[in-house]
Each structure stands twice: as structure tokens, then as C-alpha cells.
Amino acid sequence: GWQVSMKSGSLSYILPCNRLPVQLMSQVRVYTSNGQKKDLGSEGTNGSARGETLHKAETGRQETANAGQKQSSPKQPIQVKVKAVLKKREYGPKYTQNNFITGVRAINEFCLKSSDLDQLRKIKRRSPHDDTETFTVYLRSDVEAKSLEVWGSPEALARERKRRKEAEIKYREKLFRNQRLLWEYKEFFGNTKPRSSTATMFFKGPGKVVMVAICINGLNFFFKLLAWVYTGSASMFSEAIHSLADTCNQALLALGISQSARTPDPSHPYGFSNMRYIASLISGVGIFMMGAGLSWYHGIIGLLHPHPVESLLWAYCILAGSLVSEGATLLVAINEIRRSARAKGLSFYQYVVQSRDPSTNVVLLEDAAAVLSVAVAATCMGLTSLTGNPYYDSVGSLGVGTLLGTVSAFLIYTNTEALLGRSIEPEQLQRLTESLESDPVVRAIHDVKATDMGMSKVRFKAEVDFDGRVVTRSYLEKQDIEQLLQEIQQVKTLEELEAFMLKHGENIIDMLGAEVDRLEKDLKQRNPDVRHVDLEIL
């Protein structure tokens, strides 16, 4: 019910000084839900008598001198305004009576049938999905009551849930076996299914660049290995190892590209686009360990135990062919990066440093290092041929290893930064913030975070201070003002006031949620890179 806490009761205080006695007169009034008023009386007289007795005992001499003043001083009551407040409702640590759940959740969690839900109250709510405006939900309390009616007791419901869980596990195991058999059937009889989207990724863009690099580097490794076996050159060995490392790393990049195309699932709601960065990071580590490590090792062994080098004619021919093939792959990677950088409005250097496309970046840097390493190896082998000193050849191997180590360090750094979740460019962040602040429903924006999730996907988060007056006006513009005024005039009791405020308060909260959805949708439409928007109400 409605209750008010009133004046402080009837109390009287006599101060032990020359001041006049002050008496506080008040009454306690309690308002009940039916509008009745009760007076709990006053205690002014008794409190005053007790106060005067204490005063006489403590200040006997001053009482005689001030007796005339006390008799001539009237008592002045202090009036306190009474405010009616709604009694606070205690909900407890767990309150689910007003919770809404969807039909799918009601069927799965409470083991009901769709026919059971037809008998329950249906409530239309604003949909959280972009493709639908409203969807049907049910009160959780109604669903729980219906489940107890169907199953008889909570224990029976728990047993049914356990049985269904076991059946689901068996179904998944059977589904896995059937998929395995289907895959073996396709392998044996051939697959006539149209080419999937994952396969088409390797015929354009970064996938095409990676596949071209795999073919060329594989051939280069084979011919360089033959040249090393024939000549015994340390520089040629480093080149063969370099081509082998490039081939393995680019095969790993191809795996990352195929995995990044997987659709999001409940375990990975934001998708698998970071698989490209993971593959590039592992590729950088592989270049460092396999390419740079073996080149350094072979160069150091050549310095410690030099041996004469055989005819280098075939080695020069193979290096020339490798230079042409690596240069062709490098041009393919450069053209792809230029096209992508132009589409993003970035320079070539910015696109590479920011690691916008990690797969193409790896091919670009590996092929650039391959071209330079071919030049270094040819130079050192030429010096060895002219002077007959094998130390030049070993120095060339160390130079190739150092070049590979530099490339691998750059790849490890850039891909690690991308996986850690770096912020977007300040200019882009400023545009997003200004786009939100220009909306009339927004007062201010705080704690803005915009993270580059990789592959041109941005996640934007901000705490928004909404203008409640604008939200309320938007709600009123959609209402019949005459009908709303009649509802206000019909409010006579406290219960009617509570019902009126609860009804329109919930509708205004729904309007606020609709405004949040509108802002998120507009932000995504104006900025295609923004895939996930989280706006929190401040």
C-alpha cells in the first residue's frame, strides 16, 4: 500500500542557556491504498513537562532570572510538508516472473511441444534481428507452469532433459559417421557437386596470388636442389632451403584462407577471419626457423670448414630462371596489393604496414626477399668463381639468412599486432563518433572503442548518453494525444497512477531500444567496414 513517513513526533527540547524554549509539534499521518487517513495524535504536553523538569534541576539560578521571559514567550510549532512515496518492492536475488523467452527456447529447455505453446499467452515484442520487425515471446512463468502441468513434477522434467541430452549426443555421433561415409563415397565415385565458394577463393584475389606462388616456389626448390647437389655451393643450398620454406609457408597460407571462409558458429560467433593472421604468423616463424636458421648454419659451417666449389654454370642458369619466376610472382602480389589499397583509400605502404591482407603481404615480402637473395647469391658465387675463395660463397649464405630473418621479424610483428586487436585509424574513429553525435537523440558519447578485427572488419563500442526528452517526444508523436489526455484525467487514485506510469514507462523503454537499433543500423549502412556495433545506454 501507500505509506508516508511524517514529522518526527512531538518532542520538546529546553536548551541550557538564555535562548527561548523551542517545541516541535507534529502529527504522523498514514495513507492506505484506499485513500483513508489516520491521525496518530500528539505528545507535545508530556514532552514539554519532562523537558522543564530537567531544566530546573540543572539551571536553578538561571530559571528565576528568566522566568518572566518564559511566561511571555509563546510556543511556535514547526510545520513539515508530507510527501507520498511508493512502497519499495523487494524482488529478491533471483526474479524471473517477468522474463520473456522464445518458442524455440521454451520447447528445448522445458521439453514442450508447439501445441502446448498454443494455449499460452502470446506477446509481440520488438525483434533483435534486422530481417524482422517483431516476434512472438512467452512469459517464463507461464512456460514453467505449463511444463509442470505436462510432466507432473520438476524431477520428471529433469529426467526428460537428461534423456534428450543423451539422445542429442548419440545423434551427433551418428551424424559424424554418416558425413564420414558420404565423404568416402564422394572420394571413390567422384564428386559431381558444383564448386564450392571456398574453392573459388583460390581463383581470384589473395587466393590466386598464393596458389601462383606455391607452384612457382615448388619448381624453384626442385631445380635449386639439383644445382646444389651438382655444385655443392653453400649459397645455392641457402636458395634451395629458401624456396622450400616459401612453398611450405604459402601452403599454410592457403589453409588459412580456406579456414577463414568458414561461417560463424556458436563457439566462434565472430567468425574465423583471423585464421589468415594466424597462418601468416606461423609462416613468419617458419621462415625464421627453417629459412634463416638453416642458411646461417650452412654459412657458418662453410666458414669453419671451407671446400672448393665445382663449376657454377648450371647454378647461374638456375638462379636466372629463379629470378624471372620470383619476379613474376612478385609483380602479381604488387598488382593485387595496389588494387586492394586503392579500394580502401590507402597508400601502398600503409596497406602493407597495417597488414590489411596478411596472405598477400607474406607473398609480397617472401618474393621480394627471394629476388634480393638471388642477387646476393649470384654476386657471392661470382666472387668465388673469380677469386677461387670459397669464403665469399659462405658469406652469401649468411647474407641470405639475414635477409630472411628480417622478413620473418616484420611478419611476426605485424600479424601479432593484428591479432591483439589494434584500434582503427583516428580519422575513421572521428567520422564514426561524429556520425553518432549528429543524431538528435544523442547527448554525448563516452568510452569509445573501435577495434580492427582483421580483413576490413571493425567492431565499434560506445556508451551513449541519450536525451530522454527527445525519446519521450518520439513516443508521444506516435500516440493519440487526445486519448492520452483522457487517460490522465481519469487518474484519481494512487493505483491508477501506478498503472498509468508502468504502462507508458515500459513503452518508452521499448522506444529507447528501437532508437538504439536504428543508430546501430545507420552506422553499419554508412560504414560498411563496421560489422559489429555495441551501444550501451549511459
pLDDT digits (tens, 9 = 90+) for 18-48: 444 444 444 444 444 444 444 444 444 444 4
Q: Which is more confidently placed, 90 or 521?
A: 521
Q: Which is more confidently placed, 129 or 283?
A: 283
Q: Which of 395, 420, 445 is the last residue of a domain?
A: 420
For residue 224, tell me if it sits in a domain: yes
* pLDDT in the model for residue 49: 43
Can you tell me the mean pLDDT for 428-450? 91
Q: What is the rounded radius of gyration, in angstroms, for the C-alpha atoms of the chain?
A: 41
Residue 7 is given by DSSP the state -
* pLDDT in the model for residue 312: 67
Q: In angstroms, how far is CA 291 from the centroid of its own chain? A: 37
C-alpha cell at 90: 523487494
Q: 139-186, pLDDT tens digit by residue?
A: 888 888 899 889 989 899 899 989 988 888 888 888 877 777 776 666
Q: Which is more confidently placed, 70 or 272?
A: 272
Helix (H) or strand (E) holding 174: helix 154-189
Residue owning grid cell 525483434: 127
For residue 255, tell me if it sits in a domain: yes
Q: Which residues pair with 423 in a beta bridge?
A: 451
Residue 249: name the closest of 424, 408, 119, 425 by CA: 408
Distances (CA, A) of 30 to 35, 84, 262: 10, 9, 67
Q: Which residues pair with 126 in a beta bridge?
A: 134
335 and 231 co-located in one domain: yes
For residue 47, tell me if it sits in a domain: no
Helix ranges, 305-390 (H): 313-344, 348-353, 358-387
350 and 248 co-located in one domain: yes
For residue 23, tell me if it sits in a domain: no
314 touches 231 (CB < 8 A): yes
440 and 455 co-located in one domain: yes
Distances (CA, A) of 354 to 66, 183, 327, 349: 90, 40, 24, 8
409 and 277 co-located in one domain: yes
320 and 348 co-located in one domain: yes
Helix (H) or strand (E) holding 30: strand 29-31
Q: How many domains is the chain partitioned into structurally?
A: 3
% of the chain residues with pLDDT over 90: 11
226 and 354 co-located in one domain: yes
* pLDDT in the model for residue 187: 58
Q: Which is more confidently placed, 374 or 310?
A: 374
333 touches 369 (CB < 8 A): no
Q: In angstroms, how far is CA 470 from the centroid of its own chain? A: 29
Q: From CA 42, how far away is CA 27, in angstroms rounded?
A: 6
User: SS3 for 54?
Assistant: helix
Q: Model pTM?
A: 0.60
Q: Which domain CATH number covers 236?
A: 1.20.1510.10
Q: Which of 127, 156, 189 is the last residue of a domain?
A: 189
> 231-235, 267-271, 523-527: lowest mean pLDDT where?
231-235
Q: From CA 251, how far away is CA 74, in angstroms rounded?
A: 102
271 and 380 co-located in one domain: yes
> 50-54, 70-74, 188-192, 372-376: lowest mean pLDDT where?
50-54
CA dihedral for 58, 62, 67, 72, sign (positive or negative): negative
* pLDDT in the model for residue 309: 64
Q: From CA 412, how far away is CA 405, in angstroms rounded?
A: 10
Q: How confident is the model at residue 1 (pLDDT cuts 50, 70, 90)?
A: very low
pLDDT for residue 129 is more than 70: no
% of the chain residues with pLDDT over 70: 78
> 77-91, 247-261, 422-436: lowest mean pLDDT where?
77-91
Q: 451-509, pLDDT tens digit by residue?
A: 888 777 889 999 999 999 999 999 999 889 899 999 999 999 888 998 999 989 989 99
Q: Could you tell me the residue range of the domain that residue 468 belongs to? A: 426-537
For residue 129, tell me if it sits in a domain: yes
Mean pLDDT rounded to a whole number for the chain: 77
What is the bridge-based pairing of β-strands 134-139 and 100-102? antiparallel
Give CA angle at 196 (190, 199), nearest 5°: 95
Q: Which domain CATH number covers 493?
A: 3.30.70.1350
For residue 7, tell me if it sits in a domain: no
171 and 263 co-located in one domain: no
Q: From CA 455, how far away is CA 462, in angstroms rounded?
A: 22
Can you tell me the mean pLDDT for 411-428? 84
For residue 82, tell me if it sits in a domain: no
Residue 276: name the closest of 423, 455, 424 by CA: 455
407 and 437 co-located in one domain: no
Q: Which of 170, 189, 208 is the last residue of a domain?
A: 189
Q: From CA 246, how far away is CA 283, in angstroms rounded?
A: 9
For residue 80, tell me if it sits in a domain: no
230 and 267 co-located in one domain: yes
Q: Which is more confidently placed, 397 or 20?
A: 397
303 and 436 co-located in one domain: no
507 and 397 co-located in one domain: no
